[in-house]
Structure 1
Amino acid sequence: MAPAAPAAPVAPAAPAAPAQPKHQSTPEVRERLKAVGAIAQAISAEVQKVIIGKSHVIDNVLINILSNGNLLFEDYPGLAKTLMTNTFADALGCDFKRVQFTPDLLPADITGTNIYDAKKGEFTFKPGPLFCNLLLADEINRAPPKT
């Protein structure tokens, strides 16, 4: 066998050009983002009038609300979980409900149920606390699995 030919020297690669974003921000988008930022700051300031010393939690709740998410508050009793949720509802102009989960709670206690109206001779749906903008589900671990 013949010896392999030496490899040709490789020149160092030229630095890559900075990646261009696929979507360019337009002035209209930037203005909308500024408006959202101003609204978020106003909401944060309003909540901080009631909730003192938890600005990082308030910021995280705002991020969650803006991203249309669900939030799990885990904290010791008496540290303003209900007050914070109620304050956010007030600051946002939303309705707020709280459900205390217990071992005997049924799904209909949360979602609502049909109630017979004898005068009309028909069933009418009575919505449960789930039909609100902000719902605080307290002590979820106490509820039965079907709930």
Structure 2
Amino acid sequence: MCQKPKVAFVCVHNSCRSQIAEALGKLLAADSFDSCSAGTQTKPKINQDAVRLMKQLYSIDMEQGQYSKLLSEIPPADIVITMGCNVSCPSLPCQYREDWGLDDPTGKDDDCFLEVIHSIEKKVLELKSRVDDGLL
């Protein structure tokens, strides 16, 4: 049996978008790839609006088993997905990399968060499909 690829979702603080992507990757694509997330800096805790909305939408408590991590704390990744942080991201060795270009909803209203969460859900499912089809 082939080993599943490891996907790293990366943004600056690893407190919002990349955490949402990690949670949705684990929920929606665990049979296709292993998900983790990290950042170039960390925050003391995951964005509380993201935590609240992920609980409401998917019954996922991101504070159980997820926390803000540095890039150096995650295993080597096969696929690196950056969230669209508009900062230079340190080079992580990987076989494939793409940027999802998502605006950070931190400090904005629930509608902004919901838009980002639904975009991440769609992109995770698209990524799963490409992995399953052997395109990545």
Normalised by the shorter chain, which TM-score bucket? under 0.3
More RCO (CA 8 Å, sep 6+): 2
Using the size of structure 2 for normalisation, the TM-score is: 0.24
TM-score when normalising by structure 1: 0.23
The structure having more radius of gyration, on CA atoms, is 1
